[in-house]
C-alpha cells in the first residue's frame, strides 16, 4: 500500500492496495525450445523495459465482472499462442540473445485503488500520479536477462473502471508487436478462442547476412565521447506533457516557407522540438547535436514482413548538425534534416543495420547530445478493448524512458477537453532546461495560441 505523490491538476492523492505478484503460465502445454532473437532485436539500445498504461471507464454491461480475473485468464490463453513471452531471455556467444521457452509465465499483479477515473481529470496524460504503484516494480524483475519478459498490473477503481499497466522487455517487440499481443489478450477476454492475427516469429528475416556487410551510412551508431558531460543528468529531472492541436500546428507552419508546407506534421513538430530542446540545454555552438527518428520498416520490405510478425522492425535514422547551425538557421533547416533522415530507411538499410550489429558488437545508438522521438499515433494502444470499450488513454506511461533515461519522447494521440484532436508529448529535461524549453515554446506560439500542458492547468512537473 502506498500514497501517491501530489500530481495532476488536482494534486490527486490516492491509495493503492496490491495483491501478491504471481506468475501466469500458458493455459496449455507449449513447446520447450530455444528461439533466437533477430539481430535488430538484441541491439544494446533495446535492452530495457518499456512501460505502457491503459485507462478504462466503467461499462454498465460489465457490472459485476472482475477485470483482473478476466484479463488474467485471457493472458494465460493468449500465451499459448505467444509462448515465447512466457520464457526467459538468455545471452549466448557474441552477446547473441535468445528466448528459452520455459513456459514459466509472465508476472501478474492485481490491485485496488480508492480513486475514480473522473478524479484524474479531463487530461489523462503522462506523468500519472502514483505511477510506481500503478505498475509495481516487483523486486528482481527489472533485469533484461533471466527474468519474466512481461509484467502486468490490473488496478480496479472505485467507479468500476480500471487501469491496465504493462512493462515489456523491449528486445522482444516494438510498439506494433506489443499492441498485437495486447489485442490477442483483449479478443480472448471478449470471448474469442484464438487471436484474429496469428503470431509469426520469423526473427531470421532480420538477421545479418552471410557474410555481413555494412552498405549504408549509420551515424546513429557512431561512438561519440561525452567530452563535456552533456549526457542528461538524472537527478533533478522534470517530466511534463505538452498538447499540440490544430492551432499549434498552424502557428508552427507559419514559420515555414511555401515549399515546405507539404511536409508532414511529424517532420515539422520533430524539427521544432529538436530546436527548442537544443536551445534549452545550451550546448556550445560547435557541439554536434542529433535527432533520432524511430521509423517503422515493416512496409519497407519487398515482400513486406509477414502479417503477425511481432519482433522489432524499426530503425533509428539520425540527422546531425552543430548546435549553432540548428539555433541560428530558420526552422526550415531542421525540417529538411529530419525529412532526409526519415527517407534513409529502406530494406537495404535494415539489412545493413543487422550486419553492423554483428560486426560491431551490438552497439547502443548514440546518446551524446541526442534526442529520440517515436510516433505511436498509429500503434493502436487506444483501440485495445478488453470488453469495457476503448481506452480513455492508451500508450506510453512517461517520456524519457530507455536504456539511457531522458533521451526519448513519444507522440501520443490525444483529444483535449475542447474536443480537439492532436498529440500529447511527454518531455523529460533537467528542471532549469525545462523552464527554458517552455519559454522558447511560448515565444514561438504565444502570438497565435498558447500551447497547453493539460486542459485543467498550465505547466505541470512531477518527479517520476
Active site (catalytic) residues: 170, 385
The neighbour count for residue 422, using CB atoms within 10 Å, is 21
| Cα-based torsion angle of the residue sequence 18, 20, 26, 27 in order, rounded to the nearest 10 degrees | -90
Q: Are 398 and 312 in contact (CB under 8 A)?
A: no
Task: Residue count of the chain, please give it.
Answer: 464
CA 362 to CA 47: how far, in whole Å?
11
Coil vs helix vs strand at 296: strand
Angle, alpha carbons 189-192-198 (nearest 5°): 105
The neighbour count for residue 385, using CB atoms within 10 Å, is 17
Q: What cell was used for 174?
A: 516494438
| Cα-based torsion angle of the residue sequence 290, 227, 281, 253 in order, rounded to the nearest 10 degrees | -20
Angle, alpha carbons 294-296-302 (nearest 5°): 145
CA 36 to CA 91: how far, in whole Å?
10
CA 448 to CA 7: how far, in whole Å?
29
Q: CA distances (Å), 144 to each of 136, 365, 379, in order?
A: 17, 18, 24
Amino acid at each position: 500500500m502506498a500514497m501517491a505523490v501530489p500530481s495532476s491538476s488536482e494534486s490527486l492523492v490516492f491509495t493503492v492496495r496490491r495483491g501478491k505478484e504471481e506468475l501466469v503460465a500458458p493455459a496449455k502445454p507449449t513447446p520447450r525450445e530455444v528461439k533466437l532473437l533477430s539481430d535488430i532485436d538484441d541491439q544494446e539500445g533495446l535492452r530495457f523495459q518499456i512501460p505502457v498504461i491503459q485507462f478504462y471507464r466503467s461499462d454498465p454491461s460489465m457490472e459485476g465482472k472482475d477485470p483482473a480475473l478476466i484479463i488474467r485468464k485471457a493472458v494465460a490463453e493468449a500465451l499459448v499462442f505467444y509462448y515465447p513471452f512466457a520464457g526467459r531471455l538468455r545471452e549466448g556467444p557474441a552477446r547473441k540473445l535468445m528466448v528459452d521457452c520455459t513456459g514459466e509465465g509472465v508476472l501478474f499483479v492485481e490491485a485496488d485503488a480508492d480513486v475514480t477515473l473522473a478524479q484524474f481529470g479531463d487530461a489523462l496524460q503522462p506523468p500519472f500520479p502514483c505511477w510506481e504503484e500503478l505498475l509495481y516494480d516487483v523486486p528482481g524483475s527489472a533485469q533484461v536477462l533471466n527474468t519474466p519478459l512481461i509484467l502486468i498490473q490490473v488496478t480496479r477503481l472505485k467507479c468500476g473502471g480500471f487501469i491496465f499497466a504493462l512493462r515489456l522487455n523491449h528486445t522482444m517487440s516494438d510498439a506494433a508487436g506489443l499492441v498485437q499481443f495486447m489485442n490477442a489478450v483483449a479478443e480472448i477476454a471478449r470471448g474469442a478462442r484464438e487471436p484474429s492475427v496469428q503470431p509469426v516469429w520469423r526473427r531470421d528475416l532480420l538477421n545479418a547476412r552471410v557474410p555481413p556487410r555494412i552498405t549504408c551510412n549509420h551515424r546513429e551508431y557512431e561512438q561519440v565521447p561525452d567530452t563535456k558531460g552533456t549526457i542528461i543528468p538524472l537527478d533533478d529531472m522534470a517530466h511534463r506533457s505538452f498538447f499540440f492541436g490544430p492551432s499549434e500546428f498552424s502557428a508552427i507552419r507559419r514559420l515555414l516557407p511555401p515549399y515546405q508546407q507539404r511536409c508532414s506534421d511529424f517532420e515539422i513538430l520533430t524539427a521544432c522540438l529538436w530546436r527548442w530542446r537544443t536551445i534549452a540545454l545550451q550546448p556550445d555552438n560547435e557541439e554536434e547535436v542529433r535527432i533520432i527518428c524511430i521509423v517503422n520498416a515493416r512496409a519497407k520490405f519487398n515482400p513486406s514482413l509477414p502479417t503477425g510478425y511481432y519482433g522489432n522492425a524499426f530503425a533509428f535514422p539520425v540527422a546531425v548538425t552543430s548546435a549553432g547551425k540548428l539555433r541560428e538557421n530558420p526552422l526550415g533547416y531542421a525540417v529538411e534534416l529530419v525529412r532526409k533522415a526519415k527517407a534513409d530507411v529502406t530494406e537495404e538499410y535494415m539489412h545493413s543495420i543487422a550486419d553492423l550489429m554483428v560486426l560491431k558488437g551490438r552497439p547502443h545508438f548514440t546518446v551524446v547530445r541526442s534526442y529520440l522521438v517515436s510516433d505511436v499515433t498509429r500503434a493502436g494502444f487506444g483501440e485495445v478493448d478488453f470488453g469495457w470499450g476503448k481506452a480513455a488513454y492508451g500508450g506510453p506511461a512517461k517520456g524519457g524512458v530507455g536504456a539511457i533515461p531522458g533521451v526519448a519522447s513519444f507522440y501520443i494521440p490525444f483529444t483535449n477537453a475542447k474536443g480537439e484532436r492532436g498529440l500529447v508529448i511527454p518531455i523529460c529535461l533537467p528542471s532549469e532546461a525545462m523552464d527554458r524549453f517552455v519559454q522558447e515554446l511560448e515565444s514561438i506560439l504565444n502570438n497565435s495560441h498558447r500551447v497547453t500542458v493539460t486542459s485543467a492547468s498550465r505547466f505541470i512537473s512531477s518527479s517520476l
